[in-house]
Structure 1
Amino acid sequence: MKYCFIFFLISTLVGLHTGYAQVGGVERLSNGKFELVFKRASGELEKMVSVKENASFLVDEIISGGSPWEIIIDGTEKSRRIDARAASNFTTSQKANGLELTWAGFEGLPTDFRVTAYVDLLPDSAMSAWRIRVDGIAGTLIRKVTFPRIAGLKDLGEEELAVPDWMGALLKSPRAVLTPGGGGFAWEYPGHMSMQFITLYNPHDAGIYLASDDSLAYSKTFTLSVDSTGMLVYGVDNYPPYEQQLTSYEPPYAFLIGGFQGDWLTAAQLYKRWAEQQHWCRDSRLANGKVPDWVENTSYWVWNRGRAANVLPPATALGKRLNSRVSVLWHWWHGGSYDDSFPEYFPPRDGNEVFKTAVSEAQQKGVNALVYMNALKWGPSTQSWVNEGAERFAAKDINGNMLSHVYNIFTHKALTNMCEATDFWKQKYASLVDTAINQYGVGGIYMDQICLNRRCYDPTHGHSIGGGNYWMTHVAEKDRLIRSKFPADRSPALAGEGVGENWLPHLDVFLALQVSKERYAGVHDWQTIPLFQSVYHAYGITFGNYSSLLTPPYDEMWPQEQAPDDTETPLDAEFNTQFLMEQARSFVWGMQPMIANYQPFLDTIRQEEIDFIERLADVRQAGLDYFVFGEFLRPPHLDVPEETIAVSRLSIYAGRSGNVTRFESKFPSVYVSAWRSKEGKAAVALASIRKQDYRVDFVMDPAEYGIGDAGSVFVNDEHGRRKLMDYDAGNSAVSLTLPPLGICFLEFVPR
């Protein structure tokens, strides 16, 4: 159900008092909370104001370039860009809820070519809904329609930009890293952009909320850039089917633009109100009790690579140490080398019988393994590529070229994107999963790159060319095909790389490695935030961590002359605090924690760090009502000191020289979050990476957290559960001392 449909019904029933006026040379639209002003001569956007905050979101004067849309049309020799200023005829008309703006008369285009924008103000809200329709396009190839396009976004002061780049990313002072006339930022949805909104705000003043309400997963690109005049420009690139027989194009979704006061979590809550009404929440595997019990109850994941002896016994040993369920993410189990031999996975490099026996024995000890199988890629250097004619079913770009990329820095062999819409690829991949599950008995499949989307321009594949929503339609078909072959007596799991709202009905668990982004990307301006969890924690389990106390391994099937001599050896102890930080983030952000490259000898040489994850597992398992099934809340304010720590960056593969890049940066020394259980209780999770005591002092407003007028507070740590205090509306100040490297959650139980 769409925003615009909901509010159309409301406005029809109660009446929408939207002010519309022609004043001077402008068209003004206002509902007392949000105001938009368009130039009457051209339809360019001139003003955008959030009335309550008295916040103007556009620079005072946009001389030109304020077109609310742009269209790229491909010709026989070159492409052409048109916008509002290219129209010789512009008209406006008032509609029940807003304004209709129409542009026509474009030189060199059919006489019936016209662009119509519909802009509505939502009732009793500082929010507007935007839609677009392009008519008279028969015989015309449209590459993309950028709409809405908002030019001249004003500097809000102390700006922060929050984006659902998979788990979530926060950038302070974004203008400082954008180059005028440069490429700017671009986020593909569905895909790396896991949800359909971004927000630019001043946390102490006002912010702008920018979203779409597409429930059908159409391909689009959200962008933010600085143009050649220095104006900050927001836009969404929409992709019509790249077909000349198309007569009109109207995206079946609206765009939301509005004002608010708060921060990224405030914006996430605005989005959540809509998101929880969508089919991916109703059909979520977690919300419907379809996630296998062994996944829900996993206390730790071990991410090891290589032969069974290097993977399963260490995980079994850690499970014994933690006295709880440990599961495995298993790379490099397959017969070919990593990142160039896909999808030639069988037989396993251990051999059939050794592999089956090892998997079975581990399962008898409670250890299930997700084995790696890339859901998107095929290596053109493989014999199967030639034998099966795979090139016909590869995704193609707009020029007919395959979408290939070299990931393997050692062999320089490429992998190519396959088209999800082809039956050939769906059936090929499903057959591979069938073999792994039913013949080899693995616990599940880690479907690398499944949470991505590709626009394919191959006209022989049977889908709309380029734009459309066929990708997710075929992901759903692929999921049904795979699960139809699952055995009735076991509960295999499907996991995916990254996170994405559209995949909630299809995956049991999502690998979210941004929790340790510094380890693979170093220290830079973008910071990881739990944006996805703040919206969808109760609908999907996230797990993962690149957190390791050892240097990475090297695939035995890569060129041996490039193998470093220090693989899987202890990292310098100065990076131990980084390890603790990554584990603390996982805990407070409601993720299933993970350790990479675990070996039992770490219990001795990194005793403090392994003890930390043992205590973390104990505490987390006591709070699964919050950390698996709970709702993410705004944490109470704590005055948390920052500490400078050493950070290592090293590829997930051993680099050519095996060198570690060292950074230093300041990070919080205590991590905190808040949760609500389905039973109406609340919890505040705390994890310290300090070597000193930390005095916890905060006030918990019972009304804000929905925990009744009175109740009791309990401390849950590795020693168990004990009562701390009682609370009521007049006494909700909480105080306790968190010991060095302390981990706990405070549980607020209403009477």
Structure 2
Amino acid sequence: MVGQAQGNDTGVLASDHLAVTFSPETGGIVSVRSLRSNHEFVRPAAKKPLLWRLVLRGRDRTEMVLDNTRVGPPEFESKIGSLALHWQGVELPGSAGTLTVRVTCELAREDDTARLRLWVQNDSSAFGLWDVQFPVIAPLVRSEESQIAMGRGSWGVLYANSGTRITGVYPSHSLPMQFALLQQGKNGLYLATHDPKALFKEFTFEPSCEFYVNTHAMDMGVTGSDWEAPYPFALGVYQGDWMTGCKRYRHWALEAAPWTRKGPLGKREDVPESLKNVCAWVIGNGATAEVVPAVELFAEAIGAPVGVHWYNWHKIPFDWEYPNYFPPKPGFAEGVLELKQRGIVVMPYINARLWDIATANFAEAKAHCVKDDQQEVTIERYGKSADLAPMCPTQPFWQNKVAEIIRRLGDECGVNAVYLDQIASAPPRLCFDANHGHPLGSGSWWVDGYRQMLDPIKKWATSDGRQMGLTTENNAEPYMDNLDGFLIWTPRSDQEIPMNSAVYSGYTLYFASNRAFEHGDVSYCLCQARDFVWGTQLGWDGTAIVEPQHKAKLAFLGRLARLRAAARDYLVCGELLEVLEPTNEVPNLSGTWNTPDGDGPVTLKAVHGALWRGLDGSAGVLLANADTDAHVFSFTIDTKRHGLGSSAEWVLRQVGAENQTRISSQDNGQVSHMVDVPGRDGLCLVLQAASSD
């Protein structure tokens, strides 16, 4: 019966779109089938299929691993649209007590996504939960056409079926968003934790074709600690490509995630217009006399709003003596004022996580830093850095210290933005200090603590006439309600896809298009062209870019930056709808980028294109040509699929030009066009239904 579990002996729950089958012997998932395409995602069925795996730890730090294949068959309870599996009185070894485990799966008749939840009642006086792995699904089908999409690094990566281990830690640069996609042709499997609390977790695809989500328990190792189904796991099927899967996650994030509650950028008055308008960034490093003249040259060459990310404005060495940034180097405030008078965003660096344990004032900070399960201070080192202690973000002492630094930068130095390093890059730390008042080990308290820190800072930064932007490193999603921009500076590759823009375009800012500066003009321009149409604020190389030998790089960067300014309604306030593939032959260009595996070759099309929806509902086609020669780029847009309206005729105009072109649409709503893209330049084409012209 569609929409109802098929009985205790089969464990099938099905809708009009999806059927999920659980083993009567172990309760593990033996089938995930798309009913519309009759495509199976679990094959061949395991002899002892898994569903959950629990890691428990005793007072003496003894670990025990338990999974559903070792505890006997579950009891099934079926209702219309739901199925429950119960494991009652699971005995732990050595008379250490019992566990009761319950799993529910909900799937409405019209839905294509099942929602799974797990509860663990722990009646043990000897063991506490440490890690919860749920769901565990194996084996997921792998074939030559299989691809895995994960939002790792700067943009997201589309992995081929390489048989290697793929894992990401959330929330951090290695997994900024809590979902992954398995693509097999046009058959897609959506794997997501719809967790508004952003708990500390990992997504992993093993070479054995096992997939699981590992979430660290709250009150880790505390005897008798339970697991209360803090979020549903969404298991869905769809027809389409990775963009289709990304839009499914976008729908959830915009509807239910607290980090999008302030609305889109176009309506947010707490994000400074000066930061929204930045089109290119440059890194400044050191004293005012070196930084200011070079930044002014950069701004003049770009000819559009720019920002400087100013490092080493302080007297202390980089990665030493944090957080004692004051006093600044002489002339810093005067340099800030001079640049601001030219309309430049001046954004100094601070670290918002770390304290140098060798500083004299660490004695007062020690009680508030992260402690491991032996109550020792956690230490991090970066190259030849000092020994640095991550601070616990729940502690008012640290919250107030970060606020004090930012206020001084605003009041004493006059900056109009501050960069808070590592917040959205480094994963949460486990903290076991019972005096901090948060659950031991893990929990939502890490993200909650930063929100408690940043809420008042954000309010101060954009009140009483102040318009100070706040940014951070990398792009973990749960911080975007208080941090306006994310520095996506990590290595690039030609296997990337713009998953972050697909989900959060129009809701946050990404900046940087570095990683190719040292490898010649072609390599550099390839990176700028691709990243431009994907929506980032460009640049973030050093002031060497204003030197004569980099004239071609700077000229191309300036052209794209000026085009970004003209296309603001799309690239800042709009939504990325599609990466456009040319329907004609466009030549490839090859270059060298700094990739996750070190400097290596990349090969991409000379012309890059993307389709964006604008503030007024129109479509914007963004094109950028990295080659010195002009190239024709032909494309087709499915106006119905993208919700752009219905019209027999469409008007196409080029931003910056007066002429218009009228295009007839096909019966299926597709609109096709070809355009000549000048060498080392870009275009923005606006498409609107003729009836709304």
Q: TM-score, normalised by structure 1?
A: 0.85
Residues 663/144 of structure 1: CA separation in 2 closer, same or farther (3 Å cut): closer
Task: Tell me the CA shift for residue 290 of structure 1.
Answer: 1.8
Give the structure 1 partner of residue 654 of structure 2: 715
Residues 641/735 of structure 1: CA separation in 2 closer, same or farther (3 Å cut): closer
Give the structure 2 partner of residue 72 of structure 1: 55
Give the structure 1 partner of residue 243 of structure 2: 265
SS at match of 1:471: helix
What is the one-letter code of the residue matched to 2:431? C
Alignment of 1:660-679 (within 5 A): 663-679=600-616
728-737 or 459-468, which deviates more:
728-737
Give the structure 1 partner of residue 121 of structure 2: 135
RMSD over equivalenced CA pairs, Å: 2.5
What is the one-letter code of the residue matched to 2:650? G
Give the structure 1 partner of residue 634 of structure 2: 697
SS at match of 2:85: strand
Match of 1:242 among 214, 220, 245: 220
CA contact (8 A) 2:313 2:348 kept: yes
Question: Does residue 56 of structure 2 align to residue 81 of structure 1?
Answer: no
CA contact (8 A) 1:102 1:114 kept: yes
Give the structure 2 partner of residue 552 of structure 1: none
Question: Does residue 416 of structure 2 align to residue 443 of structure 1?
Answer: yes
Match of 1:459 among 434, 443, 447: 434
Task: Tell me the CA shift for residue 73 of structure 1.
Answer: 0.8
SS at match of 1:71: strand
Give the structure 2 partner of residue 733 of structure 1: 672
CA deviation profile, 1:600-659 (whole Å, cap 9, x unmatched) = 752x322222211121122111111101101111144314645353315499xxxxxxxx
Give the structure 1 partner of residue 150 of structure 2: 163
Residues 57/501 of structure 1: CA separation in 2 closer, same or farther (3 Å cut): same
Identity within the alignment, %: 24
Task: Tell me the CA shift for residue 315 of structure 1.
Answer: 1.6
Task: Tell me the CA shift for residue 580 of structure 1.
Answer: 0.9
CA contact (8 A) 2:10 2:22 kept: yes
Give the structure 2 partner of residue 575 of structure 1: 520
Matched residues in 2 for 1:614 and 1:77: separation? Answer: 58
Alignment of 1:316-335 (within 5 A): 316-335=296-315
CA contact (8 A) 2:168 2:204 kept: yes
Matched residues in 1 for 2:431 and 2:657: separation? Answer: 55
Q: Unaligned stretches of 5+ in structure 2?
A: none
Give the structure 2 partner of residue 208 of structure 1: 189
Residues 143/702 of structure 1: CA separation in 2 closer, same or farther (3 Å cut): closer
CA deviation profile, 1:316-339 (whole Å, cap 9, x unmatched) = 222223333221111111111112
CA deviation profile, 1:59-89 (whole Å, cap 9, x unmatched) = 223112x220010111225200011122246
Give the structure 2 partner of residue 498 of structure 1: 474
Task: Tell me the CA shift for residue 685 of structure 1.
Answer: 0.5
Residues 34/543 of structure 1: CA separation in 2 closer, same or farther (3 Å cut): same
Task: Tell me the CA shift for residue 481 of structure 1.
Answer: 3.2
Question: Does residue 14 of structure 2 align to residue 18 of structure 1?
Answer: no
CA contact (8 A) 2:475 2:486 kept: yes
Give the structure 2 partner of residue 597 of structure 1: 542
Give the structure 2 partner of residue 394 of structure 1: 369
What is the one-letter code of the residue matched to 1:59? R
SS at match of 1:680: coil
SS at match of 1:177: coil
Question: Does residue 216 of structure 2 align to residue 280 of structure 1?
Answer: no
What is the one-letter code of the residue matched to 2:683? C
What is the one-letter code of the residue matched to 1:624? R
Matched residues in 1 for 2:594 and 2:151: separation? Answer: 23
Give the structure 2 partner of residue 92 of structure 1: 76
Give the structure 1 partner of residue 35 of structure 2: 51
Residues 133/642 of structure 1: CA separation in 2 closer, same or farther (3 Å cut): farther
Question: Does residue 394 of structure 2 align to residue 421 of structure 1?
Answer: yes
Alignment of 1:178-193 (within 5 A): 178=165, 184-189=166-171, 192-193=174-175
Give the structure 2 partner of residue 560 of structure 1: none
SS at match of 1:434: helix
What is the one-letter code of the residue matched to 1:168? W
Matched residues in 1 for 2:155 and 2:342: separation? Answer: 36
CA contact (8 A) 2:156 2:500 kept: no
Matched residues in 2 for 1:634 and 1:661: separation? Answer: 29
SS at match of 2:361: helix
Runs of 4 or more consecutive aligned structure 1 residues displaced over 6 Å after TM superposition: none
Residues 462/455 of structure 1: CA separation in 2 closer, same or farther (3 Å cut): same
Give the structure 2 partner of residue 637 of structure 1: 581
Question: Does residue 341 of structure 2 align to residue 364 of structure 1?
Answer: yes
Give the structure 2 partner of residue 611 of structure 1: 555
SS at match of 1:19: coil
Match of 2:502 among 531, 534, 538: 534
CA contact (8 A) 1:160 1:170 kept: no
Matched residues in 2 for 1:360 and 1:375: separation? Answer: 24
SS at match of 1:269: helix
CA deviation profile, 1:72-127 (whole Å, cap 9, x unmatched) = 11122520001112224631111342211011332436655210000122331232
What is the one-letter code of the residue matched to 2:665? A
Residues 121/332 of structure 1: CA separation in 2 closer, same or farther (3 Å cut): same
CA contact (8 A) 2:4 2:81 kept: no
CA contact (8 A) 1:110 1:136 kept: no
Give the structure 2 partner of residue 151 of structure 1: 138
Matched residues in 2 for 1:254 and 1:194: separation? Answer: 18
Matched residues in 1 for 2:250 and 2:458: separation? Answer: 29
Give the structure 2 partner of residue 220 of structure 1: 201
Task: Tell me the CA shift for residue 742 of structure 1.
Answer: 2.7
CA contact (8 A) 2:103 2:119 kept: yes
Residues 701/481 of structure 1: CA separation in 2 closer, same or farther (3 Å cut): closer
What is the one-letter code of the residue matched to 1:611? A
Residues 530/434 of structure 1: CA separation in 2 closer, same or farther (3 Å cut): same
CA contact (8 A) 1:701 1:729 kept: no
Alignment of 1:106-125 (within 5 A): 106-108=91-93, 112-125=98-111
Matched residues in 1 for 2:170 and 2:332: separation? Answer: 39
SS at match of 1:271: helix
Aligned residues: 675
Alignment of 1:677-688 (within 5 A): 677-688=614-625
CA contact (8 A) 1:133 1:250 kept: yes
Residues 27/297 of structure 1: CA separation in 2 closer, same or farther (3 Å cut): closer
Give the structure 2 partner of residue 567 of structure 1: none
CA deviation profile, 1:216-251 (whole Å, cap 9, x unmatched) = 22222222213xxx3433333342322636553213
Matched residues in 2 for 1:650 and 1:220: separation? Answer: 25
Q: Unaligned stretches of 5+ in structure 1?
A: 1-15, 179-183, 550-570, 652-659
CA contact (8 A) 1:158 1:172 kept: no
CA contact (8 A) 1:393 1:461 kept: yes
Q: TM-score, normalised by structure 2?
A: 0.92
Matched residues in 1 for 2:530 and 2:307: separation? Answer: 20
SS at match of 2:296: helix
Residues 675/416 of structure 1: CA separation in 2 closer, same or farther (3 Å cut): same
SS at match of 1:700: strand
CA deviation profile, 1:658-708 (whole Å, cap 9, x unmatched) = xx9753332222111111112111111011112322112123333334144
